[in-house]
Amino acid sequence: MKKLFIVFFSLIVISGCKKFDAAPPDSLSVTQSDELRLSKDIDLKLVADNFVSPVALVDAPDGSKRLFVVDQVGKVWIIDRNGKILPEPFIDITSKIVTLQAFYDERGLLGLAFHPHFKYNGKFYLFYNAPPPPGGPTTDAGNTGLPKIWNSTVRISEFRVSGNRNGADMGYEKVILEEAHPQFNHNGGTIA
């Protein structure tokens, strides 16, 4: 079970800093009293929990004050304006993503971005790893003769909301970009 924390930062000022007239020193030190003062300027607040592997938190640009939690296993959850997680996911693409390894994986549902006019057109975009394409290459690009098998397909797709705005239209997906990917790691995912 993973928990989602939001860290609130207030303005942090380290006392004793000097204006540098020449090159700065090789290192700056923070005293214990500075550390105690700094620790009071950071606050953690539990926002939601019971996610599998939350990888992103995105605010919808529609004035609803909803937060969308991207869970790597293929689901996007909504935290409403009152801080409650809606019981049904906004979208569930677990059937579209590659099967994730239980011990460690960098693939899955990795990114969410809303169209700038989401409030009016309901469009949003997901970055995820789909299963690999058939008929991938048999040797690597470096001509070393080593076998190379595609591991997944990196995909960015457009989706749109359903009539109730708290769920996606699962009958609509427009693939914007897809590319075969050779490994389970070193996957990006942030889209904007």
Q: pLDDT tens digit string along 147-191?
A: 567 788 899 999 999 988 999 999 999 999 998 877 777 777 888
Strands 123-130 and 75-79: unpaired
pTM above threshold 0.75: no
11-25 confidence digits (pLDDT tens):
333 333 333 344 444
Cα–Cα distance list, 152 to 37, 81, 113, 146 (Å): 48, 36, 21, 18
Q: Say how far apart CA 50 and CA 141 lie, in whole Å.
A: 42
Residues of the chain with CATH 2.120.10.30: 52-192
What is the CATH topology of the domain spanning 52-192? Neuraminidase (2.120.10)
